[in-house]
């Protein structure tokens, strides 16, 4: 079974949350789960509405999820991690870190990333609840998980 599921009524993509528990990372988060995520995201899928029938469908789009586009989001996470050296600075930057959800949504609107990437990204970001030590730890775990995913993604989708 895959990590993601699509529904056309209502149109949405969902993902399993258990494999992506960044607050309490499993032994597989940076290896098996990151590899499975890379395999699923190498074949981008977008929910689109057929203009004539007004029906939603899932279509493949190889122009989405290009490694360079995903790397930009990872690079931004790294930049925020460098600035958030402690809980106090993390708390000041957390609103801007959370704004990355909007940037990912914008990229989806331009069909640069697919619905699975948006769902995974927001699922992980939603687990960063506050500017506590636990929140900072979850953020760092997400950044590390993203790094592992990118390594496997480069292998799964070289160009």
pLDDT in tens, 11-56: 999 999 999 999 999 999 999 999 999 999 999 999 998 888 888 9
Predicted confidence (pLDDT) at residue 1 exceeds the cutoff of 80: no
Band (154; pLDDT cuts 50, 70, 90): very high
Tell me what pLDDT residue 159 has: 72
- Strand 45-49 versus strand 56-60 pairing type: antiparallel
Cβ contacts of residue 86 below 8 Å, gap of 6+?
Answer: 136
Helix (H, G, I), strand (E, B) or coil at 51: coil
For residue 58, the enclosing domain spans: 4-156
How many domains does the chain divide into? 1
Averaged over 66-76, what is the pLDDT?
Answer: 97
């Amino acid at each position: 079974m895959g990590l993601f599921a699509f529904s056309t009524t209502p149109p949405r993509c969902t993902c399993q949350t258990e494999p992506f528990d960044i607050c309490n990372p499993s032994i597989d988060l940076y290896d098996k789960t990151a590899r499975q995520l890379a395999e699923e995201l190498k074949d981008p899928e977008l929910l689109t509405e057929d203009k004539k029938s007004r029906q939603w469908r899932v279509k493949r789009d190889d122009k989405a999820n290009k490694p360079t586009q995903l790397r930009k989001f990872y690079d931004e996470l790294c930049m925020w991690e460098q600035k958030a050296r402690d809980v106090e600075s993390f708390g000041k930057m957390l609103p801007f870190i959370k704004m990355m959800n909007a940037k990912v949504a914008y990229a989806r609107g331009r069909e640069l990333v697919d619905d699975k990437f948006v769902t995974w990204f927001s699922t992980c970001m939603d687990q960063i609840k506050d500017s506590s030590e636990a929140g900072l730890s979850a953020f760092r775990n997400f950044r590390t998980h993203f790094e592992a995913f990118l390594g496997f993604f480069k292998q799964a989708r070289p160009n």
